[in-house]
């Protein structure tokens, strides 16, 4: 109790006198930047999740070929979830003499639970969002359906035994997807009309869906409860199962953000470490005095720890409040960039703030503060008595452990964290060594310059260890800033370039082989770029290495699903754009061997390896091929891609249809409708909406990354400030002595500025090298993007270093030089 109140009083007094400012502010910046980023990413992440949920039209979707038991819906309502139903069946739609196959979807009034329908009042009309569904007796038809029937809104169509008036063109359904099952064009009707159509008969192919939505907590608790109840044939989907494009975009943005917050943590930690060291140095006398006044070692330790805990709590609270405010401000500033309102952040960042403050202080300040506690009492009589020197090994290990623990807590990917640890350790070692070499080399130049320069450069090598530490710290800070600039610009650009404005947005499937040349000609005439046509063969997997797939016990349930459902196979001599071989070899063009290249994740889920033999049943005929390569596929490129691509020798000659993807601008709508009329059996799937979803995810992610960038910049400045402050006392003293000896104010200033400029230059040089290498590594190995080295970087690094460090040095030194030398000498 006594220690608690004394610790509190000493802390308050330290804060009032300005002793704690640097340490406190560094800590607050750390917590602020981390929590602001966490708050923002929490909101953005939630927005992205909601956006992803739109592609299900719900948070959870239960699908079955049998009517869904009413008990599920009751359970959901009890659990405070919203529900909606959709029943889908294929049926021929008639408009007078014209008829076409359609997917008739009957929905309840609150469909969709996530996302909005878009409708237009007539063909090619302006589409707008609506929160309604067709009224009883009315139907909404897609452009494709109307194009095939040759009709427009106002038409009266017949479905089964009922007639409907087409009142709107259905432009977009959030859950329209583009899986091959969504083949037929949609006719949307009200659930109340379903019975009238008399379409549901024994044996008819009906699919039932129950859509569920609610708060994240409610969904998370409800999902496992529902899963327990599920019967055979009932399948539950959540956002994890949404289309691979959105999933891939989410994963990438997650990695960007993790990288960025990690950098803030490191920078802030460096700042805290530097200011803690200064604090400890300045408080050795106090500790000696407290001991002299009769305080015992355990009491001193307790006092220091209590102060640390108080500082943690204060820093965490202040930082979290500021972080929340900063994040609100950012969201407000960027409100025009975000097409959708951001949901409110959750509470978890508050906890993050506390944990961050604790980890950073324990890892980076505790060793110094504990060491400070060991100051011998004899220091009150002899100023040259120091506490036993801090074992740098111990302090680095403590820092490293704290950072790793924090990272693991943030990223929750031990492999990634260990990778980062190895990288960071290597970076520190290399930077330290390079810093040492540079400082040594610079010392050699002191003889060739004037007095002020000699003083500055001499200082650099005299404070050898401190100089290296500062060069490394500044270098690291600058490196991270430059890296982030690169990551943000180069990598974000590369990412966006992977989905350029003219990415394919129309998927054409079900093209018969004889239609391919006709369609190529049509596209050419209409001035649309003719894309690659990929053959598609429907097949069923029968055996792996001769063993019946029904007998195999798959380790991965997803693999089992893949094996047992109908597969879409393709073949060709060329590897598709966006596909990269990871192992094995692609076949020689024209080779006679029966080979198959398998997508890596798909192969892992199936449990196949190179050399395995896969057997398929294609329209009753057995086909075998050997796995000779694995590939990765960029799913978010929106090109036709296949889990399994065969050598032509394996599949050529089997019944195939073709698929392709092309880009059509808004002005091309009529050409696409012409195409639908000319090739009625071809299915055109408009992907524009899905593309927009993915682009939206990218926009949000890049907003978050930029916010992180801003905070990292602030954290970097904190490092700079802490470093300048940490040598301030010594500089004041030296400056006073120099001025007492007759040096002019300008000369002292020049000397110290030279020293800072040299540190800045060396740090910048290190930063440029480090940032280039790291950006290259990240681009190539983590983000799987192309990277080109930038020569500008090598100029900016040293220049930025000199400007940043030089100016800060000047400012700090100004203060040093303006103090009366007498006062400084007296005070010391």
Partner 1 sequence: MLTILDQVSLQVSHGERIAIIGASGAGKSTLLGLLAGLDLPTSGRVWLSGRELTALDEDGRAALRADEVGFVFQSFHLIPSLTALENVMLPLELTHHEQPLQAATQALENVGLGDRAGHYPRQLSGGEKQRVAIARAYVTQPSVLFADEPTGNLDQQTGETIIEILFNMNREYGTTLVLVSHDLGLAQRCDRIIRMEAGQIRSSTEQSAEKPS
- By CB neighbour count within 10 A (0-12 exposed, 13-18 middle, 19+ buried), where does 161 fall? exposed
Which one of 123, 380, 421, 710 is in contact with partner 1 (CB under 8 A)?
380
Single residue of 4, 13, 325, 497 touching partner 1 by CB under 8 A? 13
**382 vs 415, which CB is nearer to partner 1?**
382
Complex with partner 1: residue 10 or 661, whichever CB lies closer: 10
Stretch that binds partner 1, among 281-289, 476-484, 597-605, 767-775 (CB under 8 A): 281-289
Quickly count: other Cβ atoms within 10 Å of residue 198's Cβ.
12
Closest CB to partner 1 among residues 6, 424:
6
Q: Does residue 289 bind partner 1 (CB under 8 A)? A: yes
Of 128, 156, 183, 292, the one binding partner 1 (CB under 8 A) is 292
C-alpha–C-alpha distance, residues 487 and 484, integer Å = 5
Which stretch in 5-13, 159-167, 268-276, 606-614 sits in contact with partner 1 by CB under 8 A? 5-13
827 binds partner 1 (CB under 8 A): yes
Compute the distance between CA of residue 651 and CA of residue 624 in angstroms, rounded to an integer. Answer: 9
Q: Are 308 and 11 in contact (CB under 8 A)?
A: no
- Comparing CB distances to partner 1, the nearer of 217 and 823 is 823
782 is an interface residue for partner 1 by CB under 8 A: no
String of contacts with partner 1 for each residue 408-437, x by CB under 8 A:
------------------------------
Kindly tell me which of 4 and 795 has the beta carbon lying closer to partner 1.
4
Q: Which of 92, 378, 394, 811 contacts partner 1 by CB under 8 A?
A: 378
Contact between 17 and partner 1 by CB under 8 A: the answer reads yes
Size of the site for partner 1 (CB under 8 A): 31
Q: Which of 65, 122, 204, 296 binds partner 1 (CB under 8 A)?
A: 296
Q: Which is nearer to partner 1, 96 or 298 (CB)?
A: 298
The answer to whether the CB of 651 falls within 8 A of the CB of 623 is yes
Q: Which stretch binds partner 1 (CB under 8 A): 46-54, 182-190, 284-292, 654-662?
A: 284-292
6 is a site residue for partner 1 (CB under 8 A): yes
382 binds partner 1 (CB under 8 A): yes
Candidate list 67, 298, 426, 611; residue touching partner 1; CB under 8 A? 298
By beta-carbon proximity to partner 1, the closer residue of 290 and 762 is: 290
Nearest to 317 by CA among 353, 344, 346: 353
Among 68, 377, 405, 785, binds partner 1 (CB under 8 A): 377
| Burial class of residue 396 (count of CB atoms within 10 Å of its CB; 0-12, 13-18, 19+) | middle
- Using CB under 8 A as the binding rule, whether residue 781 contacts partner 1 is answered as no
Q: Do the Cβ atoms of 744 and 817 come closer than 8 Å?
A: no
Q: Which is nearer to partner 1, 173 or 278 (CB)?
A: 278
Give the nearer residue to partner 1 in terms of CB position, either 281 or 400. 281
- Name the segment binding partner 1 (CB under 8 A); options: 283-291, 466-474, 539-547, 784-792: 283-291
Q: What is the DSSP letter of 529?
A: P
DSSP structure class, residue 206: -
384 lines the binding site for partner 1 (CB under 8 A): no
Alpha carbon distance, N-terminus to C-terminus of the chain: 34
Q: Which stretch binds partner 1 (CB under 8 A): 11-19, 198-206, 498-506, 602-610?
A: 11-19
Out of 19, 54, 490, 686, which residue is the one contacting partner 1 (CB under 8 A)? Answer: 19
Region of 106-114, 372-380, 775-783, 803-811 interacting with partner 1 (CB under 8 A) = 372-380
With CA atoms as reference, report the closest residue to 307 among 15, 533, 555, 41.
15
Environment class of residue 74 by beta-carbon count within 10 Å: exposed (0-12), middle (13-18) or buried (19+)? exposed
List 290, 438, 703, 817, residue binding partner 1 (CB under 8 A): 290
786 belongs to the binding site for partner 1 (CB under 8 A): no
Q: For partner 1, give the closer residue by CB, 609 or 819.
A: 819
What minimum distance in Å lies between the beta carbon of 826 and partner 1?
A: 7
Q: Which stretch binds partner 1 (CB under 8 A): 8-16, 142-150, 568-576, 594-602?
A: 8-16
When the beta carbons of 51 and 283 are compared against partner 1, the nearer one is 283
- 329 lines the binding site for partner 1 (CB under 8 A): no
Minimum CB distance to partner 1, residue 283 (Å): 8
Helices (H) and strands (E) in the chain, counts: 26, 22
**Cβ closest to partner 1, residue 383 vs residue 744:** 383
Instruction: Please give the DSSP secondary-structure letter assigned to residue 362.
Output: I
Is residue 294 part of the contact set for partner 1 (CB under 8 A)?
yes
- Between 196 and 282, CB nearer to partner 1: 282
Of 4, 8, 9, 555, the residue at the interface with partner 1 (CB under 8 A) is 9
Q: How far is the CB of 470 from partner 1 (least distance, A)?
A: 25
Nearer to partner 1 by Cβ, of 298 and 447: the residue is 298
- CA–chain centroid gap for 89, Å, is 39
What percent of the chain is helix, strand and coil (3-state, nearest 5)? Answer: 60, 15, 25
Three-state DSSP string of 66-84: CCCCHHHHHHHHHCCCEEE
Query: From the list 98, 215, 221, 383, which residue makes contact with partner 1 (rule: CB under 8 A)?
Result: 383
Buried b (16+ CB within 10 A) or exposed e, 308-339: bbbbbebbbbbbbbbbbebbeebbeebeeebe
Rule CB under 8 A: is residue 388 a binding residue for partner 1?
Answer: no
709 to 264, 398, 483, 702: CA distances (angstroms): 9, 27, 10, 10
| Residue 285 near partner 1 by CB under 8 A | yes
Count other C-beta atoms under 10 Å from residue 607's C-beta.
16
- Residues in the chain, overall count: 828
Among 130, 237, 295, 512, binds partner 1 (CB under 8 A): 295
- 588 makes contact with partner 1 (CB under 8 A): no
Q: Is residue 14 at the binding interface for partner 1, with CB under 8 A as the rule?
A: yes
Instruction: Identify which range of 226-234, 296-304, 503-511, 698-706 contacts partner 1 by CB under 8 A.
Output: 296-304
Q: For residue 105, list its beta bridge partners.
A: 88, 188
- If the CB atoms of residues 67 and 298 are measured against partner 1, the closer one turns out to be 298
User: Is the Cα dihedral 590, 591, 595, 600 positive or negative?
Assistant: negative
Comparing CB distances to partner 1, the nearer of 422 and 827 is: 827
Distance CA 498, CA 633 (A): 12
Residue 297 interacts with partner 1 (CB under 8 A): yes or no: yes
728 binds partner 1 (CB under 8 A): no
- Asked if 311 contacts 27 with a C-beta cutoff of 8 angstroms, the reply is yes
Taken in order 166, 168, 169, 171, the sign of the CA dihedral is negative
Q: Spell out where 575-653 has E strands.
A: 579-584, 595-599, 613-618, 621-633, 644-646
Which of 240, 182, 190, 236 has the alpha carbon at shortest distance from 211?
236
Q: Which of 285, 265, 288, 315 is nearest to 15 (CA)?
A: 315
Q: Which stretch binds partner 1 (CB under 8 A): 1-9, 86-94, 752-760, 795-803?
A: 1-9
CA distance linking residue 311 with residue 275, whole number of Å: 13
Least Å from the CB of residue 307 to partner 1: 12
Q: Are 136 and 190 in contact (CB under 8 A)?
A: yes
Return d(Cα 653, Cα 514) in angstroms, integer.
Answer: 14
Q: DSSP secondary structure string, 378-442? A: GGGT-TT--PPPP-HHHHHHHHHHHHHHHHHHHH--HHHHHHHHHHHHHHHHHHHHHHHHHHHHH
List contacts with partner 1 (CB under 8 A).
2, 6, 9, 13-14, 17-19, 282, 285-286, 288-298, 377-378, 380-383, 823, 826-827
């Amino acid at each position: 109790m006594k220690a608690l109140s004394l610790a509190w009083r000493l802390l308050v007094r330290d804060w009032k006198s300005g002793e704690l400012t640097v340490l406190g502010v560094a800590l607050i910046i750390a917590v602020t930047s981390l929590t602001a980023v966490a708050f923002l990413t929490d909101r953005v992440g939630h927005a992205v999740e909601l956006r992803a949920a739109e592609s299900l039209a719900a948070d959870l979707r239960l699908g079955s070929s049998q009517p869904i038991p009413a008990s599920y819906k009751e359970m959901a309502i009890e659990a405070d979830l919203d529900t909606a139903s959709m029943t889908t069946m294929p049926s021929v739609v008639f408009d007078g003499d014209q008829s076409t196959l359609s997917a008739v979807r009957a929905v309840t009034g609150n469909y969709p639970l996530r996302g909005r329908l878009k409708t237009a009042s007539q063909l090619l009309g302006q589409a707008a969002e609506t929160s309604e569904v067709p009224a009883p007796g009315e139907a909404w038809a897609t452009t494709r359906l109307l194009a095939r029937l040759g009709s427009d809104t106002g038409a009266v169509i017949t479905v089964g035994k009922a007639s409907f008036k087409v009142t709107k063109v259905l432009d977009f359904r959030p859950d329209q997807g583009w899986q091959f099952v969504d083949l037929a064009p949609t006719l949307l009707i009200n659930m109340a009309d379903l019975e009238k159509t008399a379409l549901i008969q024994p044996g008819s192919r009906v699919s039932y869906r129950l859509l569920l939505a609610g708060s994240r907590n409610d969904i998370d608790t409800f999902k496992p409860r529902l899963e327990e109840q599920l019967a055979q044939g009932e399948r539950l989907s959540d956002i994890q199962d949404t289309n691979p494009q959105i999933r891939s975009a989410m994963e990438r943005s997650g990695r960007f953000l993790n990288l960025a917050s990690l950098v803030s943590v490191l920078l802030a930690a460096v700042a805290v470490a530097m200011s803690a060291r200064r604090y400890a140095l300045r408080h050795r006398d106090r500790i000696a005095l407290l001991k002299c006044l009769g305080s015992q070692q355990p009491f001193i330790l307790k006092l220091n720890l209590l102060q640390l805990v108080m500082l943690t709590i204060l820093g965490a609270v202040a930082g979290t409040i500021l972080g929340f405010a900063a994040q609100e401000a950012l969201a407000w500033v960027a409100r025009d960039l975000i097409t959708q309102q951001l949901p409110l952040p959750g509470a978890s960042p508050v906890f993050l703030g506390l944990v961050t403050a604790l980890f950073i202080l324990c890892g980076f300040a505790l060793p110094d503060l504990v060491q400070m506690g060991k100051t011998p009492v004899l220091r009150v009589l002899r100023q040259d008595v120091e506490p036993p020197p801090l074992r740098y090994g111990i302090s680095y290990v403590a820092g490293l452990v704290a950072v790793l623990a924090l990272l693991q807590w943030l990223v929750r990917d031990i492999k990634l964290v260990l990778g980062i640890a190895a990288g960071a350790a290597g970076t520190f070692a290399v930077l330290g060594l390079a810093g040492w070499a540079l400082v040594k080399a610079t010392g050699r130049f002191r003889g060739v310059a004037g007095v002020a320069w000699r003083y500055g450069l001499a200082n650099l090598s005299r404070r050898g260890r401190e100089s290296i530490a500062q060069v490394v710290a500044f270098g690291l800070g600058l490196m991270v800033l430059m890296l982030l600039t690169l990551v943000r610009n180069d990598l974000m650009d590369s990412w966006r370039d992977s989905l350029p404005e003219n990415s394919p947005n129309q998927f054409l499937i079900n093209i018969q082989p004889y239609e391919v040349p006709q369609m190529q000609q049509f596209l050419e005439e209409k001035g649309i770029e003719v894309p690659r046509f990929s053959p598609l063969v429907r097949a069923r997997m029968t055996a792996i290495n001769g063993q019946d797939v029904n007998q195999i016990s798959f380790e991965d349930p997803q693999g089992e699903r893949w094996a047992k459902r109908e597969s879409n196979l393709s073949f060709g001599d060329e590897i598709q754009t966006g596909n990269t071989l990871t192992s094995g070899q692609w076949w020689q063009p024209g080779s006679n061997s029966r080979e198959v290249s398998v997508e890596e994740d798909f192969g892992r889920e199936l449990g196949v390896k190179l050399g395995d033999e896969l057997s398929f049943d294609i329209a009753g005929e057995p086909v075998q091929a050997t796995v000779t390569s694995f590939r990765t596929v960029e799913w978010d490129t929106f090109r036709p891609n296949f889990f399994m691509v065969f050598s032509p020798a394996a599949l050529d000659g089997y019944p195939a249809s073709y698929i392709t993807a092309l880009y059509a601008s808004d002005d091309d709508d009529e050409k696409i409708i012409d195409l639908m009329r000319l090739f009625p059996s071809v299915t055109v799937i408009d992907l524009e909406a899905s593309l927009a979803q993915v682009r939206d995810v990218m926009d949000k992610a890049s907003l978050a990354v930029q916010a992180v960038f801003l905070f990292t910049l602030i954290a970097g400045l904190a490092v700079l400030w802490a470093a300048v402050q940490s040598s301030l006392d010594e500089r004041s003293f030296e400056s006073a002595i120099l001025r007492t000896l007759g040096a002019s104010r300008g000369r002292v200033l020049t000397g110290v500025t030279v020293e800072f400029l040299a540190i800045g230059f060396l740090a910048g040089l290190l930063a440029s090298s480090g940032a280039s290498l790291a950006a290259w590594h990240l681009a190539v190995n983590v983000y799987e993007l192309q990277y080109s080295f930038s020569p500008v970087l090598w100029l900016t690094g040293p220049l930025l270093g000199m400007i940043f460090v030089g100016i800060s040095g000047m400012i700090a030194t100004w203060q040093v030089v303006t103090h009366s030398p007498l006062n400084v000498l007296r005070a010391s």
